[in-house]
Structure 1
Amino acid sequence: MADETPGARAGEGPRNGPGGRRGDAPRYLPIAEHGLIGDLRSAALVGTDGTIDWYCCGRFDAPSVFASILDADRGGSFELAADVPARAKQFYFPDTNVLITRFFADGGVGEIQDFMPVVDGSREADRHRLIRRVVCVRGTLPFRARIAPRFEYGTVPHTLHLDDGQAIFDSPALKLALTSTVPLEADGQDVWSLFKLGEGESAVFAIDRIDDDVPPRFCAVAEAEREFNATVAYWRRWLSRSRYKGRWREMVHRSALTLKLLTYAPTGAIIAAPTTSLPEQIGGERNWDYRYVWIRDAAFCVYAMLRLGFTEEAEAFMTFLSEHVRLDDPDTTAPGGPLQIMYGIDGRRDLPERELPHLEGYRGSAPVRIGNAAVGQLQLDIYGALVDSLYLYDKWGQPLSSAHWDGISALVDWVCDNWDQPDEGVWETRGGRKAFLYSRLMCWVAIERAMRLAQHRGLPADTVRWGTARDDIYRRIMSRGWSDVRRAFTQYEDSDILDASLLMMPLAKFVSPTDPKWLATLDALGEDLVSDSLVYRYDPQASPDGLQGEEGTFSICSFWYVEALTRAGRIDEARLAFEKMLTYANHLGLYAEEIGHAGEQSGNFPQAFTHLALISAAFNLDRKLG
């Protein structure tokens, strides 16, 4: 596990105040210096210095309460740490999503146990409780805490009512109760505490969403102990269902636990990431809101979960599709196609994008955005990802219903009519539509998997029409997607530009992994887009994407590369590339979207896409190694 000193934050020290962050503490931790906790409804990022830098109460896409990761001064935070110079280390309680941050000082050793209890669909699920238990495990240590919420992304003021160990933060749309087993003091609209613990002593802070139906409830030391044990038991019970017994069990299981954290239990939605606007490049504009359900990401996530034996998560996502995406009765007359590329976690279709100019962005990386304008893009690849996941769900989970099959048939009919349209592509470029090869590939997958499903189950299908379209796509890719100049398949038709999404060609079973044309493409990708096992999506200079600045290597592509090498029989290369990728994980085994030039993680964190690709790469590499 990585250790971190109080000097890990980048930038100048912000405010100084009673119980607050040390005056010499820099303003921003590296993105990777965080752990994630959650309750299958919302999530929080906890820094290695003990500060909660990001928290949206009740829902992943709710306005933030703590957002100092996007603005150290105006975003709000929950600081909690040893009040003396100390080294800090962070780890997950084994086989759980309970996060432990330990402080090592001359006077002793203490730790913070951060977790959010997971409850069922009862009224108690509306409480949305976050518990921070502080324990001195050796010697004696002083601690400091400062709780400074900033509601609605820091735009809405609140009032503070402090009385007898309880603070009520009251804003028009959200009311939070903070209870504490140590004394609290007011400082304007914030509260702080300085306290000392001896060996074996503990203190508890608990934040609850409250309203007329959910009253404040004190969290005593004994109750915190019960909640801790129940939360540990929940996560261990869930993980025990995993079928993975391979070489990289710890990393695969951490990825599975992370994907589960990104599930919104009330609807079965699976989000792409729990954060917004963490930059792909410091100071750049590639900052997006990922707290929504991408059909592609969620479908791939279902594949990863099914691989490990977690069929309930796949079934919950099927429910989301049926109830909110109209999978049973898709509107094939909609101008943008029967499916949007993304939806809200409650199934809403409208996700207007806007900027928050009052927030400076992570390390000055403006703009901070909420909502996502890409919702209106045409991305044809989503149909292949979805139908493939439904095919696998029928194979490994539960047989699809007749209504589901009617919906799938309608989607495939639409794909047969529309596969040759130009679109924005898998990378959501804002540089205009093109005839992207990956989109063609996944349209082929949609038709091929549907035909396979129809044959396996004896389901009614227009197989003559579907087969004709499938074969037309294959021939089109082989003729116009191949460049004699590059001796490789290319990003879009009649071009000479490479793209890492092509790594999916053998993974999707479109081409043999040892086909000479594919092996030539794999070599070309290795020469042009791979750097020490890390893979760039494409070259934005050669293929402008409508955005300024550069980006790092894309971690999902790096794991696709591992899998492509594996399937090509280049096992030693694949294993080395995989082991190298594991060194780029953070101290907890988590990945953001991208990795920068110095090995730093960038983009929204943690990223579902990356973790599901890790699971798939590990599974297939294990199988080849025997």
Structure 2
Amino acid sequence: MRGGFPDIGALAPLGDGLSAALVGPDAAVEFFCPLRFDAPALVFPVLDRRRGGRLRFGAVAPSGAALPVTRRWYQPGSAVMVLEWGGASTVLARMRMAMTWPPPQHGQEILWVLESVNGSVDVEAVLEPRPGFGTTAFDLTVSDGLATLASEAEPVQFAVSGLQLEDRDGGSAGGQAVLHAGERWAGRLMIGAGAGPCTAEPEEVAAALEAIDEAWRQWSQNLVYEGPAREAVLRSAITLKQLIYAPSGAVTAAATTSLPEQIGGERNWDYRYTWLRDASFTLNALYQLQCYPEANAYARWLCTATAGAGLPLRVLYRVDGATEIPESSLTEVTGYRGSTPVRVGNDAEAQLQLDSYGELVDCLSICEVFGDDVMRTEWPHFRQLVDFAAEHWQEPDSGIWEVRNHPRHFVHSKALAWTALDRGCQLVETYGLDGDLPRWREAADKCRQEIFDSGVTDGHFTRAYDDPSMDASLLMLPIIGFINGDHPIMTKTIETVRAQLTPQPTVHPGLLYRYRLDGPDSVEDGLVGTEGAFTIASFWLIEALALAGNTREANELFETLVALAGDLGSFAEEIDPTTGTQLGNTPQAFTHIGLINAGMRLAGTSAKGQAPASPAPAPAPRTG
């Protein structure tokens, strides 16, 4: 805990297919949005220690100060977490904690079961709600030990056994008592109208946790992966499952908002939405793991959301497919370790990003590779996407990183525009679909030629046509099938990316910035400050190395990189290259997807890049 704030990498997700609770190293819930990932938070102390409220059930020191947990882990193949308190050689108390999964009909539940293992331990229970990020009026009452929250949002009930909840000043309920040897207490937080009176009878809650654990183990037993770092890949799959909004099938980028990419900086974004830039990598990971229901649901959501909102495509969507996501700042919230602004919403929603078109058309190709035509019935929509790419591929855009200064001709964006055109041609040729094949093929060839004419300098790809610096997204070019991984231009690109984007100093040689924000090769992206190493870039590097034939180094990097997730196996967006601590929103779906796809690549089972087949030879740059 730094300045009272937990490390970002110490936030443990508990999810149920609606939203997730992030649990800190002292067992307190640090961030929780009820019923939807993008709903206003009920408690958010990770963003404000004074105004963010509290939700905790766990051991305390006799003084009442929360005791740090001495050990935490997830049950194998499960999202049920176990926490222990104790000394050097003795476990005093043990707790199991989870969100009810699948969620109950009335809404949501968080469950706790706490038992004494050796001796007695002081225990506290506290609910200090701050609904609506602290802006919503509420009424909290305590009757017969049950705390009930009424506000404009769904009702909340909190019950514990073994101690008596009482009204406290400042809109909170809590209590403290001693858990004696052999005793077991329970807690339950219930959210939603129509729920019966909330009870926390230990045997009932313990049985519910057993059922949740069994449901998760049954789900994870169907995952298919035999390759390096198997436990890390399967844990990433469970994390990814927790980030899927089950009612729609949308995959949320992360469970939090405004956890900073630089402590004290302004690079704090709301990631509780779905980005199209993640689409084909997400779908590929789901299919590879044989998560067919999740893959089909996500594919259907992609079709419904993007067709419903029309063209041009939005960069991101709400979990229900809505597109109105205005960005604002919570000016009264102090931010994680003073990092402001704290944002809700995301203005990147309206940018032009050409890579989105390639991502989405590639999703249809991935479905076909796996023999699933769930998206082909939406071909009229996909044809419009290919037509759009044919009409607009020559335009500058904001790029995969959503720069906020001015559009440019980013090489990665052009390559993904080519992907949309190339996949569209292949789908027409393979399945007899209607499409403007001559026009699309001509545009694809011109786009590819232009990339080699204007996006290659000194024998390697560059960030943009007018920018010779490097960008980690260039590592994706062989992964999407734009160029063979062992082509000299690509191997030189890998070499140059590593030379320019490896932090100095760094705790790990595989860490990479997504682009440089300082030094002689720095770029301007319209924002102030710097950021950490972008974790998924390391997993792209692993795939690029494998495709270049450097499988030994790729395997070595993979083994050491997955260890940076720590005991809980959870990754945020970035890593501080000098300390190894995590930065940015968490858990980050994109990072875990990158880990899964890198593992599949090393296991030799990845289908990403197999549609199309091996690309044509790189064209020679034009002269004269």
| Same-fold status (TM-score > 0.5) | yes
Matched, 1:427 2:410: no
Distance 2:305 2:34 in 1: 23
In the aligned structure 1, how far is the partner of 2:351 from the partner of 2:315?
7
Alpha-carbon offset, residue 140 of structure 1: 2.6
Secondary structure in structure 2 of the residue aligned to 1:41: coil
Q: Could you tell me which residue of structure 2 aligns to residue 230 of structure 1?
A: 211
Q: Report whether the alignment pairs 1:62 with 2:62.
A: no
- Say which of 598, 601, 608 aligns to 1:620: 601
Question: What displacement does 1:570 show?
Answer: 1.2
* Maintained 8 Å contact 2:14/2:99: yes
User: Deviations 1:490-530 (Å, cap 9, x if unpaired)?
Assistant: 01114311111000111111111111111111111111112
The C-alpha deviation readout for 1:572-624, integer Å capped at 9, x for no partner, is 22122212212321321111000113111000011011000001111111229
Please report the RMSD computed on the Cα atoms of aligned residues, expressed in angstroms: 1.8
Question: 1:116: Cα distance to partner?
Answer: 0.9
Q: In the alignment, what sits opposite 1:110?
A: 93
Q: Shift of the alpha carbon at 1:397?
A: 5.1
- Does residue 28 of the first structure (1) align with residue 28 of the second (2)? no
Does 2:348 correspond to 1:374? yes
The CA deviation at 1:401 is: 5.5
Correspondences of 1:431-470 after superposition (within 5 Å):
431-470=405-444
Question: Structure 1: how far apart are the matches of 2:137 and 2:378?
Answer: 47
Question: Of 344, 347, 352, which residue of structure 1 is paired with 2:326?
Answer: 352
Is it true that 1:47 corresponds to 2:30 in the alignment? Answer: no
Equivalent runs, 1:141-540 vs 2, <5 Å: 141-182=121-162, 183-188=164-169, 189-211=171-193, 213-326=194-307, 331-332=310-311, 337=312, 339-396=313-370, 398-400=372-374, 403-484=377-458, 487-531=459-503, 532-540=509-517
Cα distance in 2 between the residues matched to 1:556 and 1:281? 17
Inter-partner Cα distance in structure 2 for 1:127 and 1:581: 37
Provide the C-alpha distance between the structure 2 equivalents of 1:604 and 1:348, rounded to a whole number of angstroms: 22
Q: Distance in 2 between matches of 1:608 and 1:286?
A: 18
User: Distance in 1 between the 2:497 and 2:5 partners?
Assistant: 35
Q: Is the 8 A contact 1:311 1:397 kept in 2?
A: no
Residue 584 of structure 1 corresponds to: 564
Structure 2 residues without counterparts, runs of 5 or longer: 62-66, 504-508, 607-624
Task: Tell whether the 8 Å contact from 1:108 to 1:141 is kept in structure 2 after alignment.
Answer: no
The residue that corresponds to 1:593 in the other structure is: 573
Which secondary structure state, in structure 2, belongs to the residue aligned with residue 326 of structure 1?
helix
How far does residue 218 in structure 1 lie from its aligned partner after superposition?
A: 1.6
| Residue matched to 2:585 | 604
User: Are 1:274 and 1:605, in contact at CA under 8 Å, matched by a contact in 2?
Assistant: yes
Q: Indicate conservation of the 8 Å contact 2:283/2:299, yes or no.
A: no
Q: Which amino acid aligns with 2:489?
A: K
For 2:460 and 2:600, locate their aligned partners in 1 and report how far apart those are by CA, in whole Å.
Answer: 27
**Contact 2:20–2:33, Cα closer than 8 Å, also in 1:** yes
Are residue 91 (structure 1) and residue 68 (structure 2) matched? Answer: no
Task: Give 5+ residue unaligned stretches, structure 1.
Answer: 1-8, 12-26
Change (3 A) 1:105 1:159: farther
Q: Distance in 1 between matches of 2:71 and 2:357?
A: 43
- CA shift at 1:174, angstroms? 3.4
Provide Cα deviations, 1:96-115, integer angstroms capped at 9, x if missing partner: 01111211148742122111
Alignment correspondent of 2:622: none
**C-alpha spacing 1:231/1:101, structure 2 compared with 1 (3 Å):** same
Q: 1:555 aligns with which of 502, 514, 535?
A: 535
TM-superposed CA distance for 1:535, in Å, is 0.8
What percentage of aligned pairs have identical amino acids? Answer: 37
Q: Give 1:23's aligned residue.
A: none
Classify the secondary structure of the residue corresponding to 2:598: helix
CA distance, structure 1, for counterparts of residue 301 and residue 319 of structure 2: 9
Q: What do residues 240-299 of structure 1 show as CA deviations (whole Å, max 9, x unaligned)?
A: 221102221100001100111000011111110010000000000000000001112243
Helix, strand or coil at the partner of 2:120: strand
User: Do the aligned partners of 2:299 and 2:363 also contact (CA within 8 Å) in 1?
Assistant: no
Distance across 2 between alignment mates of 1:538 and 1:351: 27
List per-residue Cα deviations over 1:312-353 (Å, max 9, x = no partner).
1111112213333217xx744xxxx2x111111111111000
Specify the alignment match of 1:22 in structure 2.
none
Counterpart check, 1:564 vs 2:544:
yes
Out of 2, 6, 12, which is 1:10 matched to? 2
- Structure-2 separation of matches of 1:68 and 1:539: 32
Q: Secondary structure at the match of 2:565?
A: coil
